[in-house]
Chains A and B, each alone.
Chain A
Amino acid sequence: MKNKATGFYFAVIAAVLTVATLVMTLLYANSGGIVSPLALAALVAALVCEVSLFFGERAWTDFTGIAAAVLLAFAMMRVLSDGIWNIAEAINGIKMVGLPELAGTNVSMAVVSFLAILACIVSCFAKKSKTN
């Protein structure tokens, strides 16, 4: 651990938040929410990329870090897109074509994945280990 640098810690934070988003997404799907398979795949792929950052500064880490952020952004937007009717109906206090009771989960997933994106971006700006 002594060799770990700032980028590593943010990568860990990003990974934890990504796992949290994944769990929330699976629970959301289990509650009847619509989840694009692409969003799930993006989250899993983002997690793999984030884990790759745990091994310190490597030739690929700049690219996997960027990929993780991009994949998380994709997942976040899909989650919001797929839940747009949930959110709209919750705001209007009606139940029409969505599941407004899941709107809070949609927003929570988006917020957590957004925090994961920020952590990823910070990680990209920083070294993952003190020495290569």
Chain B
Amino acid sequence: MKKSKLWSGLTSVFAVLLVICLLGQNLALANASYINTALGVSSSKVVETGETGDTTYFKSSFGSFDDPEAQAALLAASFEQNINEMREGATLMYNNGALPLTDAVQVSVFGHAAVDPMYQGSSAGTKVADGDLNVINLKTALENEGFEVNEALWNALASTNTTRSTGEGGFGGGKSVTGSAANTEENKAFYEGQRSTWADGYKDAAIVVFTREGAEGTDMLMQDTDDDGVTPMSSLALHQNEKDLLELVRSEFDTVIVLLNSPYQMEVHEILPYCDAMMFIGTPGHQGFVGVAELLRGTVNPSGHLVDTYATSSLSAPATVNSGTNTPQFANVDEINATIDADERAEYISFQAENIYIGYRYYETRYADCVMGQGNAADPAGALDGAAAWNYADEVQFTFGHGLSYTTFEQTLDSVDVGEDQITVTATVTNTGSVAGKSVVQLYAQTPYGDYEKEHKVEKSAIQLAGFAKTQLLDPGASETVTITVDKYLLASYDSTAHDGEGGYILSDGDYYLAIGDDCHDALNNILAAQGYTTANGMTADGNPDKSYTWNQSFDDEKYRLGENGVTVSNQFEDCDLNYWIEGAGTYLSRSDWAGTYPVEQTTVEATQEMMDILDGEWYEKPEDAPTYAEVAANFGVDSGLNLAMMKDVPLSDRETWLKFIYQLEPEDLPNATAESFESPAVGNLSPAFGVGDGCDSVGGTLPFTVEFNGEEVNPPTTRYCSKIILTATFNTDLYANRGKMMGEDGLWSGFMINYSLGADLHRTPFGGRNYEYMSECPIMSYLAGIPETEAMEATGSHMGAKHFAGNDQEFYRDGVACFFTEQAWREGNLRAFEGAVREAGAGGIMQSFERLGLKWASASKAMNTAVLRNEWGWNGAIDTDAAPCFDEYTDGGYRNHAAEVLDAGTQEWCLDAVAGHGNWVLQKAKDTDDGHLLELLQEAAISWEYAISRSGITNGISASAVVVHVTPWWQTAILVAIIASAVLTAACFVMLVVSKVKKGKKA
């Protein structure tokens, strides 16, 4: 080889390496947060300069972090919680006496989901699969309960290529979920080919597992096809392969049990004729199948109750018309994209025509109005296809609150004390059956719907959850009296016309009712009975008036006039009503006229120029009275000797001290206080870098100790608990609290400042892709369940972050979809669902959602983030966007950017923006435009962030004499060395190449 070729080749090698290292460095630094997290290194450290003492301010309840016994106890307790959730949350929906399987020994398990269950949804948090550390699958769980499982059938199921994802296992080992149910079950020929496996045994029972799988970014399809790929149907309807399977097992087994591993309400009426019992098991996480097996065996008595309505048709809810995969585009979408750029993602519009009527609030209210002959409720509008009239019994299979037991209970309403602010109810439960069990006392309310409400368009659900209590385990014959306290605030309605159009909460004039019942329908029947209605009026069953209570309340629009700190509650979301922009553009469902207002076709509009101007996202203007940049900047850089440990007990009301603390920073340090990521960066020398947890049923990441697995020492993942729906379905506030405690402990051990873990968005339809991590269709259920979980997590030192605040009820085009609604529906629905965790329990932070409230991105809504959260609710936590990463540069424009508008609205951190791209852009804009107001907003963001940090376990190990020091992780140094080395070698080889060519030229 000629020398020139050698040098040419070597130069190309090292030059390529140099380019890869240079651009790789850029890529790596932009994603340093994830690399540091993966490698377990930090970009800062705490250095003690004096006496420390005990600086473990937040201690684990399991003991010292380095104590192996404490580590083992933490894991054991988390799995116990996981299993307890399933024990008490799995809901026995139907049972003809087949369950429990007391004597069954040999069973056959059917359904692809048995071997490939949906252990969890595809979104944040620990992912578990068969064979992973600490995972217990259904087969093992059944065997542990003494069942012998048809191994040949199990292995055959496990060997197929059937998948719920695109591609084989999805790219990179992950899964790309489609939201379709077509061909997700083995076909008829497969099962017929397995007959021999149960010919001589394993026939004590057939256990069939069905699932449906959506994901973050993927709703279940409202317009799916059957397994033939042609016949249209809902993805939640039974598909042909599933029907064939049910027919086969029904014909060959005396006992057929169906387990619903689907967080989305399937159309179960198609299952019932083929089974003897059906149980909702949600997603089990690490070890939830243990609880399932115990319930099947009868070791544990079911006590879960549904937190969603199972309608006959999954598409019968009014919300399905304009949401999910049915969401329409703006009529002039091309004009919008041409006018404001497609990056603004302003193509889709979701008009929430259903108003307040989501879930049972629709079905039960319409039922009540049918009984009372009110509002044309029986009109066929919205009824099942071909029905001459709307009929509850045809429309609903299982309602909110339904759940069976292996025993029977009798519940009596003992007393009701209606106080000024609270109502106290006592009820007694007696186990009248033959086995021990737990019972849930469900308390519901009905508030008046009279002429005022009709005239002022104040909608009322005919029944709404008011409270609940779960008994301890009651032996046969045993009784327990429970007490339920109801905040009367939950009975108030938002009236946007109150106070001469300023709006506010009202207590309606008229008769109020409370009732207990086995479910919300039963409670409604008890109220209707008290009102004199019977089956002669069309009721599905005669109610028991003795289980209800009534009192009269006069009209009151002052009681809830003021929010926290004397702030007046008033309309904030008028521009989120489509009719605000285009008169008569949308009709909201009203019980005053079901026939005339039920949405029978999609609602869309042509966005006007005025609307497009707002969709464009640019409206920030420097206030006329804004100070100059220099005036504000002059406050910074003053050392007051305060450190994080000194601030941990300083209240926010001590603004002077907090300002002194923050003023120790330089203005250039402030953007880091807006940068939330899996490794949020250090902020100046005030606070160190730290991680955050993310996931509603698991905080994600691994624990900081090792266990042996398959002969290796590995860090165990944080536990994946049951889906939020299962937890909520326990109706057990102790389990809610313990979930909060355990996930808080997981976060504390992992060094997480906050865990974005409380999913309170509504199950607006059964198709919402992330329904599995949100609690319920009922906002009051979410309100009540969110309080104990949040309080318990906050006590651990790892904050609760509620998400996705608020209204993230669809995944289809969630990023940017313009949602329009009435202020009443928004406040009593989406906001109420979060209010318990955020306002009452004091969650340390929130993560927002991707959709637009009206025309503005949720993160840029001043109405929500400042007027409601900060002012009305008096909440002072940290407000984070949903994912808005900045890569190596911030681009002004694009709906997740518009950083000045977002910060001005009250949002202070950008999720996954570890490089502080948004914050730095705001800082630069403040300098460029001499806008001290923007700098003040960054200052306030820093106060919120540091306040949250100061109340967390991040303070552990930091004494009053500690200082935060920035460090360069080893991998960054390694990349730098590689760059220098390859640059030197490139240059050397290039010189040699030139020299050799010169020499060659001379020779020639």
Min CB distance A86 to B, Å, is 9
Interface residue from B8, B122, B217 paired with A125 (Cβ < 8 Å): B8
**B-side contacts of A126, CB under 8 Å:** 1, 5, 9
A87 to B174, CA, bound (A): 10
**Contact: A94 with B216, CB < 8 Å?**
yes
**Contact: A117 with B16, CB < 8 Å?**
yes
* Interface residue? A28 (CB, 8 A): no
**Contact: B215 with A94, CB < 8 Å?**
yes
Q: Which of B10-28 contact A (CB under 8 A)?
A: 11-13, 15-16, 19-20, 23-24, 26-27
- On whether A84 and B8 interact (CB within 8 A), knowing A92-B122, A93-B215, the answer reads no
**A-contact bits for B113-124, CB 8 A (1 contact / 0 none):** 000000000111
Interface residue from A69, A76, A93 paired with B12 (Cβ < 8 Å): A69
For residue A69, which residue of chain B has the nearest CB? Answer: B12
Most chain A CB neighbours (cut-off 10 Å) among B26, B171, B177, B885:
B171
Q: Which of B210-228 contact A (CB under 8 A)?
A: 215-218
Q: Which of A66-110 contact B (CB under 8 A)?
A: 66, 69-70, 72-74, 76-78, 80-81, 84-85, 87, 89-97, 100-101, 103-104, 107
* Interface residue? A33 (CB, 8 A): no
For residue A7, which residue of chain B has the nearest CB? Answer: B5
* Interface residue? B660 (CB, 8 A): no
- On whether A65 and B8 interact (CB within 8 A), knowing A74-B19, A77-B20, the answer reads yes
Interface residue from B16, B127, B165, B883 paired with A73 (Cβ < 8 Å): B16
**Contact: A103 with B19, CB < 8 Å?**
no
- On whether A69 and B16 interact (CB within 8 A), knowing A96-B217, A96-B883, the answer reads yes
**Contact: B993 with A62, CB < 8 Å?**
yes
* Interface residue? A120 (CB, 8 A): yes
Min CB distance B405 to A, Å, is 37
A85 to B885, CA, bound (A): 9
- On whether A90 and B172 interact (CB within 8 A), knowing A84-B27, A95-B215, A97-B883, the answer reads yes
A85 to B165, CA, bound (A): 19
**B-contact bits for A121-132, CB 8 A (1 contact / 0 none):** 110111100000
**A-side contacts of B16, CB under 8 Å:** 69-70, 72-73, 117, 121
Min CB distance B6 to A, Å, is 7
**B-side contacts of A90, CB under 8 Å:** 170-172, 174, 176
Interface residue from A59, A94, A125 paired with B5 (Cβ < 8 Å): A125
Q: How large is the interface on A (under 10, 10 to 19, 20 to 34, 35 or more residues)?
A: 35 or more
Most chain A CB neighbours (cut-off 10 Å) among B15, B16, B175:
B16
* Interface residue? B887 (CB, 8 A): yes
A69 to B124, CA, bound (A): 39
Interface residue from B23, B171, B896, B990 paired with A91 (Cβ < 8 Å): B171
A109 to B470, CA, bound (A): 58
A48 to B845, CA, bound (A): 54
A73 to B1, CA, bound (A): 25
A2 to B216, CA, bound (A): 59
* Interface residue? B939 (CB, 8 A): no
Interface residue from A65, A73, A85, A92 paired with B19 (Cβ < 8 Å): A73
Interface residue from A62, A81, A92, A96 paired with B4 (Cβ < 8 Å): A62
**Contact: A124 with B11, CB < 8 Å?**
yes
**B-side contacts of A89, CB under 8 Å:** 217
**Contact: A97 with B887, CB < 8 Å?**
no
**Contact: A87 with B172, CB < 8 Å?**
yes
A107 to B172, CA, bound (A): 10
**B-side contacts of A65, CB under 8 Å:** 8, 12
Most chain A CB neighbours (cut-off 10 Å) among B124, B174, B811, B883:
B174
Interface residue from A76, A77, A97, A127 paired with B896 (Cβ < 8 Å): A97
- On whether A103 and B171 interact (CB within 8 A), knowing A66-B15, A121-B12, the answer reads yes
Min CB distance A79 to B, Å, is 10
For residue A107, which residue of chain B has the nearest CB? Answer: B171
**Contact: B1 with A125, CB < 8 Å?**
yes
**A-contact bits for B887-908, CB 8 A (1 contact / 0 none):** 1100000001000000000000
**Contact: A80 with B27, CB < 8 Å?**
yes
* Interface residue? B31 (CB, 8 A): yes
**Contact: B122 with A93, CB < 8 Å?**
yes
**B-side contacts of A84, CB under 8 Å:** 27, 31, 887
**Contact: B24 with A97, CB < 8 Å?**
no
**Contact: A69 with B31, CB < 8 Å?**
no
**A-side contacts of B193, CB under 8 Å:** none
**A-side contacts of B912, CB under 8 Å:** 97
**Contact: B13 with A121, CB < 8 Å?**
yes
Interface residue from B2, B9, B218, B811 paired with A121 (Cβ < 8 Å): B9
**A-side contacts of B811, CB under 8 Å:** 95
**B-contact bits for A2-44, CB 8 A (1 contact / 0 none):** 0000010000000000000000000000000000000000000
**Contact: A66 with B8, CB < 8 Å?**
yes
- On whether A92 and B26 interact (CB within 8 A), knowing A69-B15, A121-B16, A125-B5, the answer reads no
**Contact: A77 with B9, CB < 8 Å?**
no
Q: 8 closest Cβ contacts across the A-B interface?
A: A95-B217, A125-B9, A77-B23, A93-B122, A94-B216, A62-B8, A91-B172, A73-B19
Q: Which residues of B contact A (CB under 8 A)?
A: 1-2, 4-9, 11-13, 15-16, 19-20, 23-24, 26-27, 31, 122-124, 127, 165-166, 170-177, 215-218, 811, 815, 883-885, 887-888, 896, 912, 990, 993, 997
5 extra interface residue pairs, beta carbon distance < 8 Å, beyond A90-B172, A97-B884, A125-B6: A62-B993, A77-B20, A95-B215, A96-B883, A124-B8
13 pairs, CB–CB < 8 Å, chain A vs chain B: A65-B8, A70-B15, A73-B19, A81-B888, A84-B31, A84-B887, A90-B171, A90-B176, A91-B173, A93-B175, A96-B216, A96-B217, A121-B9
